[in-house]
Amino acid sequence: MAKVYFKAVDSYSKTEEISSAARELLTTIVKEDKVILEKFIPLKVHFGEKGNNTFIQSKNYAGVIDYLKERHIESAFIETNVLYRGERTTREKHINLAKEHGFTELPIIIADGEHGEDYLEVEINKKNFNKCKVGKEIADKKQLIIMSHFKGHALAGFGGAIKQLGMGCAARGGKLAQHANSIPKISSLKCKSCKACAKRCPESAITVDKKAKIDKDKCVGCASCMAICPYGAISNSWVASISKSFNERLSEYAYAAAKDKANIYITFAFNITKNCDCEGHSMKPIVNDVGVFASTDPVAIDKACLDVVDRNNGKTVFRRGRYTLDYAEKIGLGSQSYELVEVK
């Protein structure tokens, strides 16, 4: 049975307490679960979309960063580009925003390159995917510390470690594949025939006559064109993504991102908002702050977060998305059975 270590901290305003709780849990998990640490361990984080004010700020990671430094373990903040058009769509803008949001203590790696073109295909042979496009700089690492923010999510229902692995570690094309429509759509109304997409498409799948058109047989769904189009003419359908099969695809990508890695998962249950940190506006938490969790099992840690948040509130807080846990367990990502070890 997986162990999930937990330390209660009742307010996000208690930064130093949160930072030392994360450090204490990391120390405990390394000792108790006999985790062997690599010489380079990136921290998978979320920098928060521009305008968002509830993402987990980097000062809360200070204890973990110090722990690694004291052991001469090199690290970096690591992230992938997002699918939608925004401040985190391309590497340069993404890094600028990360620094603006205070992520300055470590170097920053955007794992899938400038537009999402850098990925490795990880073979998993599951129901929905045989191979998954994982950001190259993540796929080629042996170990990461997956720092997740526990909160709601418009499509997944809730977001924690599995979401941070599945969507968070996927290259842009992998994100697109999870959202069902792996071939983007071009709006002929918005297209200005500038040819920027055709010039950058790695598969020469786009031709521009009067308007741009994608050759579905050539397109590999890398999603780069969505980031490149200066007129926002290329998109996918988000609405079609809300389904059980989305939860399955998310879980399969999480499986791919974690495959053959000795990851450690640290989840921060603070600022528990209805939607995720990709929302570029301020949001209010919907329940009280809870504390910090750590585990080597991404399924167990997500289940523990849901259970403790429900227990504290005397009700089911996030109803949607729980099928993700069932499916993730079924495909071997982890276990929903866990022992909660409260660190006092």
Site residues for ligand SF4 per CB under 6 A: 184, 186, 191-197, 201-203, 205-206, 208, 212, 214, 219-225, 229, 231, 233-234
Going by DSSP bridges, is the β-strand pair 43-44/145-149 parallel, antiparallel, or unpaired? Answer: parallel
What's the closest the beta carbon of residue 259 comes to ligand SF4, in angstroms? 24
CB nearer to ligand SF4: give 145 or 219. 219
Distance CA 89, CA 108 (A): 15
CB of 84 to ligand SF4, least distance (A): 14
- Show the DSSP H helices in 102-170 as ranges: 136-139, 161-166
CA distance 186 to 128: 25
Least separation in angstroms between CB 240 and ligand SF4: 17
Nearer to ligand SF4, 185 or 315 (CB): 185
Instruction: Please say which residue, 112 or 277, places its beta carbon nearer to ligand SF4.
Output: 112
In the complex with ligand SF4, the residue whose CB is nearer, 45 or 197, is: 197
Compute the distance between CA of residue 288 and CA of residue 134 in angstroms, rounded to an integer: 34
Asked if 193 and 211 count as a contact pair (C-beta separation under 8 A), the reply is yes
| 91 or 151: CB nearest ligand SF4 | 91
Q: How far apart are CA 131 and CA 253, in angstroms?
A: 9
Q: State how far Cα 287 lies from the chain centre.
A: 22
φ, ψ at 265 (rounded to 5°): -110, 125
Q: How far is the CB of 170 from ligand SF4 (least distance, A)?
A: 14
- Closest contact distance (angstroms) between CB of 131 and ligand SF4 is 16
Helix (H) or strand (E) holding 4: strand 2-8
Closest distance of CB 169 from ligand SF4, Å: 19
Rounded to the nearest whole angstrom, what is the least distance from the CB of residue 187 to ligand SF4 in the complex? 8
DSSP three-state, residue 255: helix
Beta strand 206-208 with 234-235 is: unpaired
Closer residue to ligand SF4 (CB): 1 or 189 = 189
Minimum Å gap between C-beta 158 and ligand SF4 is 29
Assess contact for 266 and 161: CB atoms under 8 A: no
Residue 235, beta-bridge partner list: 185
Pull the structure tokens for residue 245.
């099969």
- For residue 7, is it left (φ>0), alpha (ψ between -120 and 50) or beta? beta
Closest CA relative to residue 120, chosen from 167, 161, 174 = 174
161 versus 205: smaller Cβ distance to ligand SF4: 205
One-letter amino acid at 263 equals N
C-alpha 42/C-alpha 252 separation (Å) is 22
Of the pair 105, 114, the CB lying nearest ligand SF4 is at 114
